[in-house]
Structure 1
Amino acid sequence: MFGIQLFARNLENERLLTYGSFVSAGPDDIFNWQFGTPRTYGVRLLVDY
């Protein structure tokens, strides 16, 4: 048996903020940001014996 799957994530290609932090370290201030994954898409081929 064979199968094909199509998939897509983040179709609108939005850069969603998933993490943010601020650290006050004396005279230096540190900002950290992490964004989600960009648009991804693909095809999966399935084989079942």
Structure 2
Amino acid sequence: MSWPRAWKGLTPEKTKRQRVEKEAAAEEEDRQRRRNKKKGGGPT
């Protein structure tokens, strides 16, 4: 995996938090997608 140049300026803590937030956002999206599917969904 190649890191962007900006990686050097980031602290592990910060990137870890960003990854956790990204995962949480993805999970939330997943949940909403599933909920929409149950309701009959809409255009994807």
TM, length-normalised to structure 2: 0.23
More strand by share: 1
Question: Which structure has the larger Rg?
Answer: 1
- Please give the TM-score of this superposition, normalised by the length of structure 1: 0.23
Higher relative contact order (CA 8 A, sep 6+): 1
More helix by share: 2
